[in-house]
Each structure stands twice: as structure tokens, then as C-alpha cells.
């Protein structure tokens, strides 16, 4: 499978850096830059200390400690759906803009349901949490909240991408691995990428860093259907065993490629864009040209990439998105018990007695 890095200079740099980081030479050169970034954040926080805000409802954070997609948004959506089913009124706080892909993904997930969570976008999540409580939210869920220090959290859930071993020389760490000790629980994402033996090995290594018993659950993604250009869904048999070109603007495109191949598609080429990339008409044209050169039967992309690409798509080669669902391998109820216990404690604490 040929891999092409697109998205202008930024796409080329990010793609090459990720390839380079997997080599010993690249890692040794990038780690000092990472350490400098850590120092810059520490100095900024020391020079500009901000008071921590507490709100009168429980705050659950879903975050990570590495750059790139680890599955924070799907886990946030799962958590929110369970809170809604349990009779709560959750509010999702995302650091992206109102037009950000994750914001749109949260909104679309509940578009046709009678009960939907509040969704607030923007960097000032402390202020957004206050707004959510004022509107009646009973639980706050932070999407990408582990490094956000201004809002008090009652539960910190940290995701770890199973494709990456937890070593200190990883140049894409947001902060030192020792900070995993701040997490209340750790969830391994994309764990189906590993054998059971390697999952256990990863679990052991993470608990050496974070604390015994903190790795609570693991999940993967199961391909379930295709979304057609007209918005309708089709079974995977519609394209199974056919040649496709993959397009991905996500943090871990290799896992998407593995998922597509596992679903039965023959991946001829993959075009990688930067995470959260905002596509333009020229990008859609470039993808269409690559598809014709590769002589594929369709272009296959992720759900959030399809939402951004469809407005520009005019090629004869059809554009499909691969629909996946989060599939728990183990620990789903253990994780929910932690969240549910936190919410019940708040309800008991603030219960008005006659």
C-alpha cells in the first residue's frame, strides 16, 4: 500500500515527522524539542497562574497524554449516551470551535434523538461549564481535558493508544509519563490491534507508571456499514473485496487502514492529511486525481472526514465513509461503575433533606 502525505507543507512535515519519530535517530533529535515544549508550558503556567474553578455538578474528563487521536471523542460519546440513558443531563465541553469536526460529530450523534446533551465549544471550558450548569446540566464531560487545569475534575479518564508502547523517548508525549499518576483510570483504545498477550503486557507497563489497578478497560472499533454519498447506509458487502483509496485526516491513520483491510477492502493507496484538517476544493480534486491514477472503484474515508469532504466532491469515483462502532473488549462495566459512583456521590452530597 502506497502512502501519500497531503495537506500542504503542514501535512508533509507532520507525516514525515511521524515516520521519522519511529527511527532511533529521529527520536533522539525530536525528544529535546519535546522537552523544550514541556518547559515552555511549565514556565507559562508558573508566570500566569489561574484559579481552579469548581462547579456544583460532577466533572468527568476524557483525555490522553500523547499527541494525535486516541479515541477521546468516541469514548466521550459512549459515556454521554450512558449518562443520558441513566436519566442525567450531560454537557460535552470540547476545546475546538463550533465548526470543528469533533463538535459536529457530537452534535450529529444525537441529531435524531429526543434527548440530547448540551455541546459547548471553545477554549474557555471553565466558563462553558458554568453556562452548562446554569442551563440545567447535571454532569460535565470534558472531551480532551487531561491537560486542562482550570476546571476541577472528579474523574480523570486517560486513553492510551495500543499501537504505541509507553516509552519515555516518545517525542509525541504531551507531558512526562509520570503524570499518568494523576489519572483515576486508564482505558486502552484500539486494543484489538494487539494480541491478548500483548494487551496484558501493555496493561502491566502502564500500571507500573500510573499505579496498580488503574487500567480499567479496553476497546477497539468494529466496522459495521458504509455511508453512501446520498447519506444512506449500505452493508459492507457493497464494496467488500474491491479496490479502494483511503483518505484520513486523523491522528492514527495506520489503524484506520488496518480496520478497512480487516473489513475486507483491498487498499491500494492511502492519502494522509493532518489531524482535524479543514478540506478545500483543491484537496478534493487532488484526492479524485489520485483515485483515478490508482484505478480504484471508490474512495473510502472516516465519518468526520466525509462530513468535511462531501461539500467539495464532484468526481465520478464515489466517496464512501466507513461506519464503525466502539466495541468493548473488557472492563466496560468497571469503567461505568467509577463514573456512576462519582455521580451518585454528588447527588447524595447535594440532596436537599426535608
Do 293 and 317 contact (CB within 8 A), yes or no? no
pLDDT in the model for residue 353: 45
Q: Is 113 exposed, middle or buried (0-12, 13-18, 19+ CB in 10 A)?
A: exposed
Q: Return left, alpha or beta for 144; rule: phi > 0 is left, psi -120 to 50 is alpha, else beta.
A: left
The C-alpha cell that represents 59 in the structure block: 466533572
Segment among 119-123, 186-190, 269-273, 285-289 with least mean pLDDT = 119-123
Q: Comparing 103 with 340, which gets the higher pLDDT?
A: 340
pLDDT in the model for residue 175: 92
Residue range 186-212: mean pLDDT, rounded: 94
Spatial distance between the Cα atoms of 145 and 64, rounded to a whole number of angstroms:
8
pLDDT of 352 strictly over 50: no
pLDDT tens, residue by residue, 264-314: 999 999 999 988 888 999 999 999 999 999 999 999 999 889 988 988 999
pLDDT tens, residue by residue, 52-86: 899 999 999 999 998 877 889 889 999 999 999 99
pLDDT in the model for residue 29: 76
pLDDT of 354 strictly over 50: no
Average pLDDT of the chain to the nearest whole number = 87
Residue range 167-176: mean pLDDT, rounded: 88
Segment among 98-112, 185-199, 295-309 with least mean pLDDT = 98-112
Percent of the chain clearing pLDDT 70 (strictly above):
89
pLDDT in the model for residue 112: 47
H helices of the chain, in order, are 8-21, 24-47, 72-85, 101-109, 125-134, 196-210, 253-262, 281-294, 303-309, 332-349
Q: Pick from 327, 160, 308: which is nearest to 247 by CA?
A: 308
| CATH number for the domain formed by residue range(s) 2-10+222-324 | 3.40.50
Spatial distance between the Cα atoms of 344 and 335, rounded to a whole number of angstroms:
15
Q: Comparing 247 with 115, which gets the higher pLDDT?
A: 247
For CATH 3.40.50.300, the residue range(s) in the chain are 59-221+327-349
Segment among 112-116, 151-155, 186-190, 331-335 with least mean pLDDT = 112-116
pLDDT in the model for residue 272: 93
pLDDT of 94 strictly over 60: yes
60 by DSSP, 3-state: which? strand
pLDDT in the model for residue 237: 84
Model's pTM, two decimal places? 0.87
pLDDT of 105 strictly over 60: yes
Spatial distance between the Cα atoms of 97 and 116, rounded to a whole number of angstroms:
19
Range 299-326 burial, b when 16+ CB lie within 10 A, else e: bbbbebbbbbbbebbeeebbbbbbbbee
Residue range 134-152: mean pLDDT, rounded: 93
Q: Give the other-Cβ count within 10 Å of 215's Cβ.
A: 24
First to last CA, the chain: 68
Segment among 101-105, 136-140, 271-275, 308-312 with least mean pLDDT = 101-105
pLDDT of 115 strictly over 60: no
pLDDT of 22 strictly over 80: no
pLDDT of 103 strictly over 70: no
Spatial distance between the Cα atoms of 13 and 263, rounded to a whole number of angstroms:
30
How would CATH label the architecture of 59-221+327-349?
3-Layer(aba) Sandwich (3.40)
pLDDT in the model for residue 131: 94
pLDDT tens, residue by residue, 40-57: 988 988 888 888 899 999
pLDDT of 19 strictly over 50: yes
pLDDT grade for 203, boundaries at 50, 70 and 90: very high
Amino acid at each position: 500500500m502506497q502512502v501519500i502525505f497531503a495537506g500542504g507543507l503542514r501535512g508533509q512535515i507532520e507525516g514525515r515527522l511521524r515516520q521519522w519519530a519511529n527511527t532511533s535517530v529521529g527520536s533522539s533529535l525530536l525528544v529535546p524539542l519535546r522537552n523544550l515544549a514541556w518547559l515552555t508550558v511549565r514556565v507559562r503556567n508558573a508566570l500566569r497562574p489561574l484559579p481552579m474553578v469548581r462547579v456544583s455538578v460532577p466533572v468527568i474528563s476524557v483525555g490522553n497524554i500523547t499527541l494525535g487521536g486516541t479515541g477521546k471523542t468516541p469514548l466521550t460519546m459512549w459515556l454521554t449516551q450512558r449518562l443520558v440513558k441513566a436519566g442525567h443531563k450531560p454537557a460535552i465541553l470540547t476545546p475546538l470551535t463550533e465548526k470543528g469536526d469533533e463538535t459536529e460529530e457530537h452534535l450529529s450523534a444525537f441529531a435524531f434523538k429526543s434527548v440530547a446533551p448540551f455541546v459547548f465549544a471553545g477554549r474557555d471550558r471553565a466558563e462553558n461549564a458554568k453556562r452548562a450548569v446554569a442551563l440545567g446540566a447535571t454532569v460535565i464531560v470534558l472531551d480532551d481535558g487531561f491537560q486542562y487545569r482550570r476546571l476541577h475534575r472528579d474523574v480523570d479518564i486517560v486513553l492510551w493508544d495500543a499501537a504505541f508502547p509507553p516509552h519515555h523517548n516518545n517525542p509525541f508525549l504531551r507531558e512526562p509519563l509520570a503524570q499518568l499518576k494523576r489519572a483515576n483510570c486508564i482505558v486502552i483504545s484500539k486494543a484489538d490491534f494487539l494480541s491478548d498477550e500483548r494487551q496484558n503486557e501493555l496493561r502491566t507497563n502502564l500500571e507500573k507508571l500510573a499505579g496498580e489497578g488503574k487500567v480499567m478497560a479496553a476497546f477497539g472499533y468494529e466496522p459495521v456499514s458504509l455511508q453512501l454519498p446520498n447519506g444512506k447506509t449500505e452493508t459492507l458487502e457493497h464494496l467488500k473485496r474491491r479496490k479502494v483509496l483511503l483518505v484520513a485526516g486523523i491522528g492514527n491513520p495506520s489503524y484506520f487502514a488496518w480496520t478497512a483491510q480487516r473489513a475486507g477492502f483491498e487498499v491500494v493507496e492511502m492519502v494522509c492529511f493532518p489531524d482535524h484538517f479543514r478540506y478545500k476544493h483543491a484537496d478534493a480534486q487532488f484526492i479524485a486525481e489520485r483515485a483515478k491514477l490508482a484505478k480504484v472503484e471508490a474512495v473510502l474515508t472516516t465519518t468526520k472526514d466525509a462530513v468535511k469532504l462531501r461539500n467539495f466532491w464532484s468526481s465520478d469515483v464515489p466517496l464512501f465513509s466507513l461506519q464503525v462502532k466502539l466495541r468493548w473488549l473488557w472492563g466496560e462495566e468497571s469503567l461505568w461503575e467509577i463514573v456512576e459512583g462519582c455521580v451518585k456521590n454528588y447527588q447524595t452530597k447535594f440532596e436537599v433533606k426535608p
